[in-house]
Structure 1
Amino acid sequence: MTRQAAVAIALPAGFRPGDILAFHRRDTQELAERVTGDSLCKGLLWDGIPACLNVRFADGVASAEIVLDAEPARDLEPRFGTMVRRMLGLDQTVEAFEERFRDDPGIGSLISAQKGLRVPVTTTPFEALSWAVTGQQICVAAAVSLRRRLIVAAGIRHRSGMLCYPDAGGLAHLAEDDLRAAGFSTAKARTLLTLARRVGVGELPLDAWAETASIEEIRSRLLAVRGVGPWTVDYVLLRGFGWLDGSLHGDVAVRRGLQALQGTEGRVGEAEAKEWLARYAPWRALVAAHLWAAGKAAAY
């Protein structure tokens, strides 16, 4: 028995569906995500059940449907609508940001060129967390390849044929040797398994945090895990929770984007980037996303 839900959401004027689709177009092999024209098809786990999400953009509306391979234990509809809104960045205060800084000498040109930019958010905070760990200190192409191998190693498939990005339970069933065989370093493999197991037993209640926890609680609890540093936490807060004020000064692409924006020859250091980003609180991570987009690294 399958279970499904659907929602249609009116999009704000100037909404940029291409940004959302580009984020999910990272892997050209399309094992777990497939982007066709104005539509996204994505395999995921919903309460541990293989599911297929379809989102289509047309005429100012996002039409989303999810099909589960079994009946979930909890209500589907309200949570599904909330997830889609978060994925599309519809609760992000980009209008207030643009109004505040549209004439700013530092980033006014970015805002003008990329008006309406929102940050695509992963379907679950755990997907963002595991993706952030996967991408630590490697280029995007290498991270995408590792991510693909992780999905294949988990081997969870929806009846549509799409592979599903593993949740904490699906990842925790893997052994360290499985992750090493997929190309992960020992340190990353151990960090991923530690995180998956702690999420599984409720020590890191990521989904509940998305609704109730303070940013500082999330930050302190994640930083207590070996292998999780400030960049990883700020990235997860952005991609997993839609929080727009993490200081991603440690991000190489952000510093490269700042160098290009300023037109300087020397590399921008972390301290300089941190000081520059500070003036744009509480939207520092949104500024980082603008720098990614300007440098064609938005899919990261």
Structure 2
Amino acid sequence: MRWSDEHLYERILAKDASFNGRVLTGVLTTGIYCLPSCTARKPLAVNVRFFEDEAAAQAAGLRPCKRCKPDAFYRGEDADLARLETTLAQAAADPAAFPEVEALAEGVGVGVTKLKDLFRDHVHFQPAAFLQRVRIQRACVLLAAGATGLSDLAFACGYESASGFHEAFRRQTGLSPGAYRSMLGADRFVLPRPERLRVEDVLAFHGRDPLSVSERVEGRVLRKAFLFEGRPAVLRLAFGESDIEVTLTGATGAAAMAKAHGATLRLLGWTGDPAAFEAAHPQLAHGREGLRVLFTLDPFEALVWAILGQQVNLAFAYAMRRDLIRLAGIPAAEGLIAHPDANHLAALKVEELQALRFSRRKAEYLLHAAGEVASGRLRLEDLATATGAAKALESLRGCGPWTAQYVLMRGLGFRDCVPVGDAGLTLALQRWFHLETRPDALETLRLMTPFAPHRSLATFHLWASLKGTPA
């Protein structure tokens, strides 16, 4: 076992779910063994032994804990997670049915304290923040469908007051409900620049390939081509001193503008306010205050990029991406080409990709992933927990933990991820902690533990500390 008993005891006191499956806690006084994340009252260190697996714990005469159910965990079962995911889906569909956090806890069948633990481990933010998010998302859907009465809309989404609804809506979308409704009938809108937004970082990331055929950065203007209902469109973001003007060409109507607005928030990393991380880790954030995790336009684009970037250098990965978009993308305005969706990629042949210098294995991985998404067997937009998303992604052919964690961060917006095995991250950790050698996978997890629950942003700060090309 690679960790000291002292370190493992610290992890069980912290209820660290990242150690689940890596070690078991045996409690000699009660005769049980638990997962490190178990929420039961913690034993004294003198009464604890650690085991590598269930067989070792059972050989010592211990039985599984009935609260954290390590036996079910090792069988791949997690009843709490299943109930949590069901409740999350119900709340997203009808947020008014969950007027408070206690209603979420009742839906999952746990107490509020246990619910917060489940959210920390699987959702990466707090239950109250989740309720705010799904309420505003529901409001946006209803507005795009033609809802007019804002007071009735607020009530339908679970708000008791119009003022609370307006404040939450503006904070999450950058617009008032009335301005959002007006935007749906236009072809442009203006967002206030988030406080301390690092515009240069936004432009550098989305313009990281100067030869890209699907996005282009010129000065302080970003253009991004994408598909809307199978048709190519171009999103244009012009960054001013205090606001961002967004224009959509190639698609019209309320649904198209709602898509453009949501895509803009993703490209800006709108929901990733870094203040809490910076307060907790000022030394790592120093000189990069305001850094955010920026997302791809949609989760599928993140998955494609992660597969292309596996074990190849960035320059070659950029070239492969350009060739892929030329082959399967749809031409849009201004000389740009929209990134192909899963249906277009799934229709390709392995030989077509090999002609673009894809290895046969990489071509097979990409087409398998596209086929799973195109068929509906993998619904990226429905992956509500990091745990469930990682499991679903790692079930794809050729998709390991690094690929899954990258998609979780860049495509799905989970906040406490660690792309174990990433060469840039291990180099940055070696330098940051003054190590003689690069850390292996287990040491990477140990070194990243203090940055929880903000390990995604910590990863980006560590990458940025290398002062290299944006990842």
Normalising by structure 1, report the TM-score. 0.90
Contact 1:44 1:52 in 2 (8 A): yes
From 431, 452, 463, the counterpart of 1:292: 463
Amino acid corresponding to residue 264 of structure 1 in structure 2: L
Q: Which has the higher mean CA deviation after the structures are superposed, 263-272 or 81-90? A: 263-272
Say if 2:363 is the partner of 1:189.
yes
Structure 1 counterpart of 2:445: 274
- Cα displacement (A) at 1:206: 1.7
- Cα displacement (A) at 1:30: 3.2
Ranked by relative contact order (alpha carbons within 8 Å, sequence separation 6 or more), the top structure is 1
Structure 2 counterpart of 1:114: 288
**Equivalent-residue separation in structure 2 for 1:172 and 1:119 (angstroms):** 29
Say if 2:271 is the partner of 1:91.
yes
- Cα displacement (A) at 1:93: 3.5
Structure 2 counterpart of 1:6: 188
SS at match of 2:333: coil
Unaligned runs of 5+ in 2: 1-184
RMSD (CA atoms):
1.9
Structure 1 counterpart of 2:232: 50
SS at match of 1:149: helix
Contact 1:15 1:116 in 2 (8 A): yes
Structure label with greater radius of gyration: 2
Aligned pairs, how many? 287
Q: Aligned residues: percent identity?
A: 36
SS at match of 1:59: coil
- Cα displacement (A) at 1:95: 0.9
From 145, 148, 153, the counterpart of 2:319: 145
- Cα displacement (A) at 1:20: 1.1
- Cα displacement (A) at 1:265: 3.8
Q: Which has the higher mean CA deviation after the structures are superposed, 155-164 or 82-91? A: 155-164
**Equivalent-residue separation in structure 2 for 1:173 and 1:50 (angstroms):** 18
Say if 2:249 is the partner of 1:78.
no
Amino acid corresponding to residue 124 of structure 1 in structure 2: D
Contact 1:248 1:284 in 2 (8 A): no
Contact 1:8 1:61 in 2 (8 A): yes
Structure 2 counterpart of 1:221: 392
Contact 1:247 1:278 in 2 (8 A): no
**Equivalent-residue separation in structure 2 for 1:131 and 1:48 (angstroms):** 20
Unaligned runs of 5+ in 1: 103-107
Amino acid corresponding to residue 446 of structure 2 in structure 1: E
**Equivalent-residue separation in structure 1 for 2:252 and 2:195 (angstroms):** 36
1:147-171 deviation digits (Å, cap 9, x = unpaired): 1111122142113321121111221
SS at match of 1:115: coil
**Equivalent-residue separation in structure 1 for 2:232 and 2:368 (angstroms):** 23
- Cα displacement (A) at 1:71: 5.6
**Equivalent-residue separation in structure 1 for 2:348 and 2:256 (angstroms):** 28
**Equivalent-residue separation in structure 2 for 1:123 and 1:250 (angstroms):** 25
1:101-133 deviation digits (Å, cap 9, x = unpaired): 22xxxxx1x301110000111001000000000
Structure 2 counterpart of 1:105: none
SS at match of 1:63: strand
Contact 2:302 2:407 in 1 (8 A): yes
Say if 2:434 is the partner of 1:260.
no
Q: Which has the higher mean CA deviation after the structures are superposed, 213-222 or 118-127? A: 213-222
**Equivalent-residue separation in structure 2 for 1:202 and 1:85 (angstroms):** 25
**Equivalent-residue separation in structure 2 for 1:80 and 1:28 (angstroms):** 23
**Equivalent-residue separation in structure 2 for 1:98 and 1:84 (angstroms):** 24
- Cα displacement (A) at 1:146: 1.2
Contact 2:208 2:469 in 1 (8 A): no
**Equivalent-residue separation in structure 2 for 1:14 and 1:71 (angstroms):** 32
Amino acid corresponding to residue 178 of structure 1 in structure 2: E
